[in-house]
Amino acid sequence: MEVFDLKPTRAGADLSFQVCAACPTFGFKPSYHCMPCYHRVFEPGQLQFITSSTYRRVPVFVSGSFCQTFAEVLGTLRQEFGFRLVGWVLMPDHFHLLIRPWPAESTPLLVQQLKQRTAYRVLQTLRQ
């Protein structure tokens, strides 16, 4: 991966930027405050550690019924996707999964479905 440091010519300002040729999103980012550009690699048979947070980090999972909803959706997705669930942790505003998906590339869809279905059921409960 090629990285180039560019220094703007504006006097008195140190606004150095890094241009990352491998960054699929923007191709450049400020080096002083941006998150690193991670590239996901999905290898068949490898364990994958997943962390995801709730919308605006709202502590949804302090409710026992919402924790149960998450567990039920996770169980349904295990059957549908056929992945091996090695372990999981549910915190008030985020969750961690350790899985072995098959195929490996199904992970983004799995996480999307987990969050989408859980949110749908939680919102249904809140609207009642």
Alpha carbons 38 and 64: distance in angstroms, whole number: 34
Q: Do 84 and 122 fall into the same domain?
A: yes
Q: Do 73 and 117 fall into the same domain?
A: yes
Q: Do 118 and 97 fall into the same domain?
A: yes
**73 near 122, Cβ under 8 Å?**
no
Residue-wise DSSP of the chain: --EEEE----TT----EEEETT-SS-SEEETTTPPP-------TT--EEEEEE-GGG--GGGSHHHHHHHHHHHHHHHHHH--EEEEEEE-SSEEEEEEE-SSGGGHHHHHHHHHHHHHHHHHHHHH-
Q: Do 70 and 87 fall into the same domain?
A: yes
Structural domains in the chain (count): 2
Q: Do 63 and 120 fall into the same domain?
A: yes
Q: Do 71 and 115 fall into the same domain?
A: yes
Q: Do 64 and 108 fall into the same domain?
A: yes
Q: Do 28 and 55 fall into the same domain?
A: no
Q: Do 8 and 70 fall into the same domain?
A: no
Per residue in 100-123, pLDDT tens?
998 888 999 999 999 999 999 999
pLDDT at 5 over 50: no
The CATH number of the domain where 99 resides is what? 3.30.70.1290
Give the residue numbers spanning the domain of 95: 48-127
Q: Do 106 and 64 fall into the same domain?
A: yes
Whether this model's pTM surpasses 0.95: no
Per residue in 13-41, pLDDT tens?
444 444 445 555 555 555 545 555 666 77
Q: Do 34 and 69 fall into the same domain?
A: no
